[in-house]
């Protein structure tokens, strides 16, 4: 039976035994689930094993210590590769309170229940669900792009926290990826910015196996990846055989010695099983091998042919003596260093602890602006800039930037020493993502996974370019902040290509994402307060280009109602309205104008500002009914966006004033007249509704 029947194992033999254990666990799990991808885990087992066993600084007993190396499996369909490593290395589980538990993150029972309900081994790796998984992967390209954010985070953390003799942050980021990752455009965006920033702590391992779902890559992909990455400014090296551990080790050593650019290691692998003549692409992408092919493959490995989920003696012990011992030593040394750091730099040490627990520093909400009533008002993007520049001074690890639009989104930090994050100055807090919205979204996820509090901005219409990373931030429960400006037909002359219509309802459709569209400057302040206190939810702050009147809060309700998602802004006498006017953002002031006209005619109306549906929907039923009384059936919603979703609030008898086309190119006032966003229309609709009701 090959290695299993030999005498005392040589080092080469125990390495091969561990590699084949990863392979057989992967094929057995996929076969039992009758679902999954065995080929890539089997082909890449030597690559991942060499990295984990010889290089990765990762303590299985404390998989969240801050200065650990990060490992990202970008081709997440090969998830059994990661689950096998987590199990064999003995990685411990961590609970939501960041406490390490005594039990394994991935038990053998979980592997046996691969892709089954509640198993810690779902089809693709999921952050927060399985300890040791650094980020959720599956949509190709997202993992490698997220790894860029992790690498950026280390460089910023090092610049901010490191002191002479106290190198608190110097971790490396490794990501395994495949042809699918390379084809997705996001990988090009991410690689481009990584090269520009000279992220020397970043290493991508490209599985060059020439296989995708449809067959050989020559069907659609024949570019020279090495030349492409050299053009991005990367160091490129190649390993001709994925099974050659010594060549792999030399490649990883080359990465560690490269200090001026990221590294791409191109590894040539082949998907082949069983008898030497058999070669098949189907199992790489979603098909079990079948019992006969597994039997032949195990025979080829010198493995007991009928054994399933076998972990031979010595395998776990070998992992413990390798990554386990090395990781524990690195972690213990860091903890000792941190204890000394606390004594010499107590304020910085306290900040590290607060960051790791996603807490805010004391006084984070000091000096927030309060805006006086002003009929001319201020664009919410401008009031947001004022708030952002205050809270960013109070929260040192609140950092971010835009996709080449900071002058328009007003997200540049302008206070003294804010600085720019660039290859020569990793301590800057203003990021320049370039016109790379998709990669920006994934990089923000990587920053957040590293416990930095990131924000990124662009026009609301371009949120569509960021859809997948926004969705993943919600799945991972990351408090990423998305600042979207130019939120409506208020964009004006730029026309339909730049006027967002369906974007608001589409963002609201993402479970777990908090969307806020504030009505005036003081609602903007309150929105930022809400966002910064989120621990597990990403937020989309939707802001206007055009000026919004700053409401007189001595006449109307306090903007603190934003904290409940929706609130009664203006009410009928005695709090007993016959009509409800529901609005968000720039349309709230239109509703207020209509309210005042209706009031002058003796019509009892109520204006409800609804900056966040999600927050409002999570309020107690009693509060929701107090804001939108079930007995009041005459309701009108006003929003310069698709009306999708408003039915839940206006009911069957209500009316929705919204957009039903893609807008037009014209000055804002003309657009408001054309599409009916005028107080007169709201008043006329209200009278019609009440007339019918009577």
pLDDT digits (tens, 9 = 90+) for 138-190: 999 999 999 999 999 999 999 999 999 999 999 999 999 999 999 999 999 99
Taking the CB of residue 236, how many other CB atoms lie within 10 A of it? Answer: 18
How does residue 318 score in pLDDT terms, banded at 50, 70 and 90? very high
- Residue 399 in this model has a pLDDT that exceeds 80: yes
Residue 350 belongs to some domain of the structure: no
Residue 364 belongs to some domain of the structure: no
Closest CA to 119 of 100, 106, 133: 106
Residue 287's pLDDT is what?
78
Q: Which pair of structure tokens corresponds to residue 291? A: 């019992």
Residue 284's pLDDT is what?
43
The verdict on 401 and 522 lying in the same domain is yes
The verdict on 541 and 625 lying in the same domain is no
> Half-sphere exposure (CA, 13 Å, Cβ side) for 489?
27
The verdict on 199 and 70 lying in the same domain is yes
Question: Percent of the chain at pLDDT above 70?
Answer: 95
Closest CA to 294 of 507, 51, 31, 78: 31
The verdict on 397 and 434 lying in the same domain is yes
Q: In b/e form, how buried is each residue of 376-411, taking b as 16+ CB within 10 angstroms?
A: ebbbbbbbbbbbbbbbbbbbebbbbbbbbbbeebbb
Residue 348 belongs to some domain of the structure: no
How does residue 270 score in pLDDT terms, banded at 50, 70 and 90? confident
Rounded Cα distance, 668 and 655, in Å: 23
* Cβ contact 365:529 at 8 Å: yes
Residue 573 belongs to some domain of the structure: yes
**Nearest 5 degrees, angle CA 44-CA 70-CA 120?**
70
Q: In b/e form, how buried is each residue of 626-646, taking b as 16+ CB within 10 angstroms?
A: ebbeeebbbbbbbbbbbbebb
Residue 216's pLDDT is what?
75
Structural domain ending residue among the three candidates 300, 331, 362: 331
Residue 3 belongs to some domain of the structure: no
Residue 221's pLDDT is what?
75
Rounded Cα distance, 334 and 171, in Å: 11
Residue 211's pLDDT is what?
66
Question: Percent of the chain at pLDDT above 90?
Answer: 91
The verdict on 603 and 505 lying in the same domain is no
Residue 434's pLDDT is what?
96
The verdict on 682 and 594 lying in the same domain is yes
pLDDT digits (tens, 9 = 90+) for 319-336: 999 999 999 999 999 999
How does residue 220 score in pLDDT terms, banded at 50, 70 and 90? confident
Residue 222's pLDDT is what?
78
The verdict on 418 and 510 lying in the same domain is yes
| CATH code assigned at 574 | 3.40.50.920
Segment 606-610 shows an average pLDDT of 98
- Residue 51 in this model has a pLDDT that exceeds 60: yes
pLDDT digits (tens, 9 = 90+) for 549-576: 999 999 999 999 999 999 999 999 999 9
How does residue 3 score in pLDDT terms, banded at 50, 70 and 90? very low
Segment 12-34 shows an average pLDDT of 94
pLDDT digits (tens, 9 = 90+) for 32-47: 999 999 999 999 999 9
Torsion angle of the four alpha carbons 326, 332, 334, 335, in this order, in degrees rounded to the nearest 10: 160
Closest CA to 144 of 80, 65, 207, 67: 207
How does residue 10 score in pLDDT terms, banded at 50, 70 and 90? low
Residue 469 belongs to some domain of the structure: yes
Is 437 a known active-site residue? yes
Out of 134, 189, 293, 437, which one is annotated catalytic?
A: 437
Interstrand relation of 539-542 and 567-570 (parallel, antiparallel or unpaired)? unpaired
SS3 581: strand
Taking the CB of residue 12, how many other CB atoms lie within 10 A of it? Answer: 10
Residue 100's pLDDT is what?
79
- Residue 9 in this model has a pLDDT that exceeds 80: no
| CATH code assigned at 391 | 3.40.50.970
The verdict on 523 and 629 lying in the same domain is no
Rounded Cα distance, 546 and 590, in Å: 14
Closest CA to 354 of 421, 445, 453, 428: 453
- Residue 11 in this model has a pLDDT that exceeds 70: no
Structural domain ending residue among the three candidates 549, 582, 607: 549
The verdict on 530 and 605 lying in the same domain is no
Rounded Cα distance, 116 and 584, in Å: 42
The verdict on 198 and 174 lying in the same domain is yes
Q: What's the total number of domains in the chain?
A: 3
Closest CA to 182 of 216, 144, 219, 153: 144
Structural domain ending residue among the three candidates 486, 517, 549: 549
Residue 557 belongs to some domain of the structure: no
Residue ranges making up the domain that contains 513:
374-549
Indicate the burial class of 282 (C-beta count within 10 angstroms; 0-12, 13-18, 19 or more).
middle
Residue 304 belongs to some domain of the structure: no
* Cβ contact 78:44 at 8 Å: yes
Closest CA to 170 of 145, 191, 190, 153: 153
Residue 96's pLDDT is what?
83
How does residue 282 score in pLDDT terms, banded at 50, 70 and 90? very low
The verdict on 541 and 573 lying in the same domain is no
Q: Considering the chain, what is the average pLDDT of its residues?
A: 94
Residue 275's pLDDT is what?
40
146 Cβ neighbours under 8 A, 6+ residues apart: 72, 135, 137, 442, 443, 445, 446, 449, 469
Residue 98's pLDDT is what?
81
How does residue 97 score in pLDDT terms, banded at 50, 70 and 90? confident
- Residue 274 in this model has a pLDDT that exceeds 80: no
The verdict on 666 and 584 lying in the same domain is yes
- Residue 346 in this model has a pLDDT that exceeds 90: yes
């Amino acid at each position: 039976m090959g290695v299993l029947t030999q005498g005392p194992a040589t080092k080469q033999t125990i390495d091969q035994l561990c590699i084949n254990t990863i392979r057989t666990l992967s094929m057995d799990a996929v076969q039992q689930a009758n679902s999954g991808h065995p080929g890539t885990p089997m082909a890449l087992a030597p690559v991942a094993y060499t990295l984990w066993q010889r290089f990765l600084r990762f303590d299985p007993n404390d998989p969240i210590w801050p200065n650990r190396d990060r490992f990202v499996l970008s081709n997440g369909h090969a998830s059994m590769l990661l689950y096998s490593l987590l199990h064999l290395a003995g990685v411990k589980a961590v609970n939501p309170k960041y406490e390490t538990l005594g039990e394994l993150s991935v038990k053998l029972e979980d592997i046996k229940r691969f892709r089954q309900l509640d198993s810690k081994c779902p089809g693709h790796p999921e952050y927060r669900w399985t300890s040791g998984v650094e980020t959720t992967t599956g949509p190709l390209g997202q993992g490698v792009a997220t790894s860029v954010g992790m690498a950026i985070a280390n460089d910023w953390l090092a610049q901010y926290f490191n002191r002479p003799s106290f190198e608190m942050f110097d971790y490396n980021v490794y990501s395994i990826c495949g042809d699918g990752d390379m084809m997705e455009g996001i990988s090009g965006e991410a690689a481009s910015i990584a090269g520009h920033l000279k992220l020397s702590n970043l290493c991508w391992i490209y599985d060059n196996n020439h296989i995708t779902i449809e067959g050989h890559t020559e069907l659609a992909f024949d570019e020279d990846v090495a030349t492409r990455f050299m053009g991005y400014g990367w160091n490129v090296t190649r390993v001709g055989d994925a099974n050659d551990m010594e060549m792999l080790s030399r490649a990883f050593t080359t990465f560690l010695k490269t200090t001026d650019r990221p590294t791409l290691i191109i590894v040539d692998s082949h998907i082949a099983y069983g008898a030497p003549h058999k070669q098949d692409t189907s199992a790489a992408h979603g098909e079990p091998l079948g019992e006969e092919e597994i039997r032949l493959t195990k025979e080829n490995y010198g493995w007991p042919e009928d054994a399933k989920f076998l972990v031979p003696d010595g395998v776990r012990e070998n992992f413990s003596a390798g990554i386990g011992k090395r990781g524990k030593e690195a972690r213990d040394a860091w903890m000792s260093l941190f204890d000394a750091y606390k004594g010499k730099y107590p304020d910085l040490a306290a900040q590290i602890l607060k960051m790791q627990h996603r807490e805010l520093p004391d006084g984070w909400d000091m000096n927030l602006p309060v805006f006086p009533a002003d009929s001319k008002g201020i664009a919410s993007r401008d009031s947001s800039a004022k708030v952002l520049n205050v809270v960013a001074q109070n929260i040192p690890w609140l950092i971010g930037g835009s996709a080449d639009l900071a002058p328009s989104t007003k997200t540049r930090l302008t206070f003294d020493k804010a600085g720019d994050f660039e290859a020569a100055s990793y301590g800057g807090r203003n990021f320049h993502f370039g016109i790379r919205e998709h990669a920006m979204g994934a990089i923000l996820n990587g920053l957040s996974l590293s416990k930095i509090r990131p924000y990124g901005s662009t026009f609301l219409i371009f949120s569509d370019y960021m859809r997948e990373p926004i969705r993943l931030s919600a799945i991972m429960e990351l408090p990423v902040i998305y600042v979207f400006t130019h939120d409506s037909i208020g964009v004006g002359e730029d026309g339909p290509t730049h006027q967002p219509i369906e974007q608001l309802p589409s963002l609201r459709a993402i479970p777990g994402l908090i969307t806020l569209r504030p009505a005036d400057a003081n609602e903007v302040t309150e929105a930022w307060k809400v966002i910064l206190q989120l621990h597990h939810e990403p937020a989309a702050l939707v802001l206007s280009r055009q000026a919004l009147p700053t409401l007189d809060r001595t006449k109307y309700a306090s903007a603190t109602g934003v904290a409940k998602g929706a609130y009664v802004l203006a009410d009928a006498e005695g709090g007993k309205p016959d009509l409800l006017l529901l609005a968000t953002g720039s349309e709230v002031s239109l509703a207020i104008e209509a309210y005042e006209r209706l009031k002058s005619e003796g019509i009892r109306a109520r204006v409800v500002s609804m900056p966040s549906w999600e927050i409002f929907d999570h309020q107690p039923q009693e509060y929701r009914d107090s804001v939108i009384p079930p007995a009041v059936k005459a309701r009108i919603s006003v929003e310069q966006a698709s009306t999708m979703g408003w039915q839940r609030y206006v009911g069957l008898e209500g009316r929705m004033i919204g957009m039903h086309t893609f807008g037009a190119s014209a000055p804002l006032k003309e657009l408001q007249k054309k599409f009916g966003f005028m107080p007169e229309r709201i008043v006329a609709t209200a009278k019609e509704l009440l007339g019918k009701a009577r």
